[in-house]
Amino acid sequence: MARTARTDTTVLALPDICRRWLGTDAADRSRAVHKQAIAVDLRWWNTALSESGAPGDPLQIDNAQSGQVLLTRRQVFTAAADLSTSEAVWRLLWLSMAWGTGSRRRLVHRRMRTVAADPHRYVEVLAEAADCSRTDPGTAYALLYPDNRTRIPFLGPAFFTKFLYFAGAGNPAHPSLILDSRVATALHRAGWTSLRSGGRWPADTYQSYTALLARWATEQSASTSRTITSDVLERWLFDHGK
């Protein structure tokens, strides 16, 4: 079978349907990004963290440590305001994972047991990746996916890119973005035909992805009356990658 030619993402155009959506109130960043909420069972998460011996304090959202709560992107951003301690790094990892999994918690126990076995080793690379995520998405990604292999077993790109994204604490100019199968599927439909939807993306692909959305955001900001951010585009791609 012939190998698919690598798509030149530097000339890939934003889909017209997305361009039209950007002109609506639904594309306001506060609505599309900050308020996107996922139902999270805090009792389940805190029980799992405790039973697995995973590092970090119990998760708390709006003073609650149990029950069903809605976790928004804005709340996860708040957890990344200061990542100077190991406890803060673990809190961000678990919150970003809780937000990313919702009720589909496949492999979560394995991830918890993995980091519980060597927390000092893994928190160092997570902290370094979080720091790099603010200036160099490709390097941050490569730290967690060296030689196209997961640095932390069972924590693949679809989930660690959420950690890299939320490490920006909501900064609209933060360059690292979420890349999962739904985003990849939407990009494939938009013309990035060489992009696999099933994961295992190398670091240079992630770098191309973040550069593409940054370019689209810059172009659309110049042609509309509002500032368009890369994560607003990521949200649209996610919604259209079903």
Q: Which amino acid is at 200?
A: R
pLDDT in tens, 175-211: 999 999 999 999 999 999 999 998 899 999 999 999 9
Which pLDDT score, from 0 to 100, does residue 1 have?
44
Q: What's residue 105's pLDDT?
A: 80
Tens digit of pLDDT per residue, the chain (242 long)? 456 799 999 999 999 999 999 999 999 999 999 999 999 999 999 999 999 999 999 999 988 899 999 999 999 999 999 999 999 999 999 999 999 998 788 889 999 999 999 999 999 999 999 999 999 999 999 999 999 999 999 999 999 999 999 999 999 999 999 999 999 999 999 999 999 998 899 999 999 999 999 999 999 999 988 999 999 999 999 999 99
Residue reference for tokens 């690598």: 6
What is the reported pLDDT for 2? 52
Which secondary-structure segment (H or E) carries 239?
Answer: helix 230-239
Longest Cα separation, the chain: 56
Alpha-carbon separation of residue 152 from 1, 65, 113, 123, 214 (angstroms): 33, 26, 11, 10, 28
d(CA 92, CA 130): 10
**Residue keyed to tokens 């639904």:** 26
**How far is 176 from 179, CA to CA, in rounded Å?**
9
Predicted TM-score (pTM) of this structure: 0.96
Nearest to 119 by CA among 95, 164, 150, 152: 152
Cβ(52)–Cβ(45) under 8 Å? no
DSSP-based helix, strand, coil % in the chain, nearest 5: 55, 5, 40
C-beta of residue 174 within 8 angstroms of C-beta of residue 134: yes
